[in-house]
Chains A and B, each alone.
Chain A
Amino acid sequence: MIPEIGQFALALALSIAVIQSIVPILGAARGNILWMQSARSSSIAQLIFIGIAFAALMRSFVVSDFTVRNVVENSNSLKPMLFKVAGSWGSHEGSLLLWVLILAAFGAGVALFGSNIPDGLKARTLSVQAWISTGFLSFLLLTSNPFERVFPPPPDGNDLNPLLQDVGLAMHPPLLYFGYVGFSIVFSFAVAALIEGRVDAAWARWVRPWTLAAWMSLTAGIALGSWWAYYELGWGGWWFWDPVENVSFMPWLLGTALLHSAIVTEKRDSFKSWTILLAILTFSLSLLGTFIVRSGVLTSVHAFAVDPQRGLYILGLLALAIGGSLALFAWRAPAMEGGGFFKPISREAGLLVNNLLLAAATGTVLFGTLYPLLMEAVTGEKISVGPPFFNAAFIPMMLPLVVVMGIGPFLSWKRADLMGVFQRLRFVALLTGLATLAVWYLAEGGPALAYLSVAIAVWLLFATLREWAGRIRLFDVPLRDSLRRARHLPRAAHGMTLAHAGLALAMFGFIGSSAWKSEEVVFVRPGESITIAGFDVRFDGVEQVRGPNYFADRGTLVVSRDGDPVTVLYPERRSYPVAQSTTTESAIRSTLAGDLYASLASPASDAVVDPGAWTLRILYEPLVFFIWMGSTLLILGGGLSLSDRRLRVGAPRRRIRAAAQTTPAE
């Protein structure tokens, strides 16, 4: 009964979405205020009905209702409760339901909290949002019904892919989708603005908090996914340039560009068509991600069960959404430019460089990701594009970006005094030089690029702190005055400092763990020791242990340093009998200086030759912790900025209202 309620709720949501696709936008065209305002209630109703559907699916998972095919295929009665719940979004159908739920949540969010947005723009935005909603709800109902029943019901389910049975990963899809799908509302705003043919500073102000919210979630989702890959896959890396990682990274890169270009549109009434284009492209890349993950055009470790029929449907949706919006853009954008004038040395120019580099980097990642497909289509040859390409193409673009990032915040709008900026950055340059020399002295044996990257990261960190110190006039005035200034500084300024410093910290992690990583893959017998990065690791053998829905081989590694005990690591290899697969659970000793990382590789084939011997992978990765710390700061910085906007949006509201009253005269 409950699954049928869920399905019925979905059908209702679809019909509401269809109405919302038409009525508010017609109302906006005809100036019918009632029609326009219908978007508010229909957005909320959509959220409620999709929420009911989602709750119904989740209930089926929680009570292990094996009459529902989706539950059979992705759950098992022995699975821990957390993963039963997470199983709701572990499959293609369930995750798509989560997708439309978040889509509806953003629509309802604008309906509820966007009281300062003019009626016309809001109605059009929500109609566009409903177009997307109609597309995906119909996709869900027609090709991927999550509530399909099976008869006769099997006694137990097939279990969720064990790789996904992990706390980090249970949270990863919701956050990632919140980011991915969050950009939908920005897309809707952009399309609505194109339809209206008007983009101004106020538009950018309304769009920015939503961009920021989506960007924060995407950052969190990507960081969590990367953390999961780090300790669950057992390869000792945190980023593999896998197609599915790339498709989540591209919207992030472009979303970051959008975040910055929207500032220019808001503050200087410039970069308008560019901001609109970024808004469209960011969500287009999110859609592209959905397509790539679910259609099987590329091969990846993450892909869902593949069905070309579904792929065709999504491609159709993509063609409508991306093709339609870009065609609209081609038609309307040329009439839209104008805005502020700026000198080559100014904050606008700095942000322009930021945008160009981020867009170029996105293009590079896109090209690298799709190259195997393009190559196969043109020459029939099968190739794969791996980390070497991405590292060689991506890093050289990011480094100049980070250099400019250090300078950018010092530049003033319109025209900046470069000499003055350099004067203020003298000490930063000196400190950077000293710190780099220190790193060079302490950590030998890295590639030249690593030292350069360290220098640039240090530069960014100190320049960011210097800018913040300059704003509160630290050491110029008594400390008490500085603190008072810090309190009165807009939160967005603190947010920027945090986020930029976060990137610098994360860079230390990226560089340290790639350039100074030590890795040993060895064949060990119980009692043998390995030395890595100054640690002595003794292998004490493997024992069998039992978990709720798995068996595991658990190795014991006693770690000491110069004879003093440090820790004991227990890497595991789990086999899940129901799902018929195995996972590695690496054991990690994490400190600020670096991670000692151990994982058990397969013994099986060599057990004949030497029973009790195992292949062990041990790595020492310096500074990995900084990646997670830096990512956290990025998110916190975004949050701080967001909280500031919510406070400030209230202030100019009166002005906008007043302006809005005069517009009908046009």
Chain B
Amino acid sequence: MGRILAALPILIALVFGAFFLWGLNPDRDPSAIPSVLISQPAPEFDLPAIEGMDTPGLSRADLAGNPAPVVVNVFASWCVPCRAEHAVLTRFVERDGVRLFGINYKDKPKDARGWLENLGNPYEKIGSDLNGRAGIEWGISGVPETFIISGDGTVLYRYVGPIVGEKAEEEFTTALVQARAAAGAGS
């Protein structure tokens, strides 16, 4: 009896150890919370253009019926990381021919216009989400967030935070390439 009891701690420790070994799997990210939107159709929304801008507004209809996957980026002029991300997104558009749509989240039209004039406008269409309603539909937790939407309007991928830095860009590009490959295979 004493012998069994004395061996109990090591047995429990071994079980825990096995779990830890499993937990160290490098592909596992404990802080990643799977978005409920993934593999779902993009949410219903209809946003007007930013006041005083020529770029048209954005709605659910713009995300369906595209020949290739498109990217939706949630941004705001008051968001400092967005400024850094802007350069990266512009590069994606110019170099890789990504079709980029924007949701301008809780931003003053004047500030948003100034910001886009200053940095350039890589967005094909921008919806102005003044009251944050569309943000709720998309379930964003902060700004910026970026989604990849398949040609038929299904959400394929979500990136939380700015796509800045080698690792983030690589991760995003990989997702984009996969999305395009899937679209190619499907058609």
Contacts and interface: CB of A to CB of B under 8 A. Distances in A.
Nearest to A608: B108
Interface string A265-287: 00000000100010011001000
Contact of A308 (B16, B19, B24): B24
Contact of A608 (B20, B25, B130): B130
Given A330-B9, A604-B78, A605-B105, A337 B23 contact: no
Contact of B107 (A295, A323, A373, A608): A608
A370 interface: yes
B137 to A, nearest CB: 16
Contact of A297 (B9, B10, B23, B80): B23
A323 B21 CA distance: 14
Contacts of A326: 9-10, 13
Contacts of B9: 277, 280-281, 326, 329-330
Q: Which 7 A-B pairs have the closest CB atoms?
A: A297-B23, A326-B10, A299-B31, A330-B7, A333-B6, A334-B2, A299-B30
Contacts of B17: 315, 318-319, 322-323
A192 to B, nearest CB: 18
B107 A273 contact: no
A334 B14 contact: no
Given A334-B2, A373-B23, A607 B10 contact: no
A1 interface: no
With a 10 A CB-CB cut-off, give which of A295, A297, A299 has the most chain B CB atoms.
A297
Contacts of B33: 382
A319 to B, nearest CB: 6
A2 interface: no
Interface in A583-628: 604-609
Nearest to B142: A605
A252 interface: no
B6 A315 contact: no
B6 A330 contact: yes
Interface string A406-442: 0000000000000000000000000000000000000
25 contacts: A277-B9, A297-B23, A298-B30, A308-B25, A315-B17, A318-B17, A323-B10, A326-B9, A326-B13, A329-B9, A330-B9, A330-B10, A334-B3, A370-B16, A372-B30, A373-B23, A376-B23, A376-B28, A377-B19, A377-B22, A377-B23, A382-B30, A382-B34, A605-B105, A605-B143
A374 B16 CA distance: 9
A382 B32 CA distance: 9
With a 10 A CB-CB cut-off, give which of A281, A299, A330 has the most chain B CB atoms.
A330
Contacts of A327: 10
A291 interface: yes
Chain A, interface residues (CB within 8 Å), range: 35 or more
A237 interface: no
Interface string B89-114: 00000000000000001111000000
B26 interface: yes
B151 interface: no
B75 to A, nearest CB: 12
A374 B19 contact: yes
A607 B3 contact: no
Contact of B80 (A296, A370, A580): A580
A489 interface: no
Interface in A52-107: none
A370 B12 CA distance: 13
A372 B33 CA distance: 13
Contacts, number: 90
Contacts of B34: 382
A112 interface: no
A281 B10 CA distance: 10
Contacts of B24: 295, 297, 308, 311-312, 315
Contact of B20 (A273, A297, A329, A580): A297
With a 10 A CB-CB cut-off, give which of B10, B26, B108 has the most chain A CB atoms.
B10
B13 A296 contact: no
Contacts of A604: 78-79
A322 B10 CA distance: 8
Contacts of B19: 370, 373-374, 377
With a 10 A CB-CB cut-off, give which of A312, A376, A377 has the most chain B CB atoms.
A377
Contacts of A607: 78
B132 interface: yes
Contacts of A333: 2, 6
B3 A322 contact: no
Given A376-B28, A605-B78, A609-B131, 8 more contacts: A295-B20, A298-B30, A322-B17, A327-B10, A376-B30, A377-B22, A382-B33, A606-B106
A312 B22 CA distance: 10
Contacts of B25: 308
A254 to B, nearest CB: 12
Given A377-B22, A604-B78, A329 B10 contact: yes
A509 B9 CA distance: 36
B133 to A, nearest CB: 13
Interface string B24-63: 1110101101100000000000000000000000000000
B49 to A, nearest CB: 17
A299 B30 CA distance: 6
A125 B9 CA distance: 22
Contacts of A277: 9
Contacts of A312: 24
A315 B10 CA distance: 15
A400 to B, nearest CB: 24
Contact of A605 (B14, B30, B132): B132
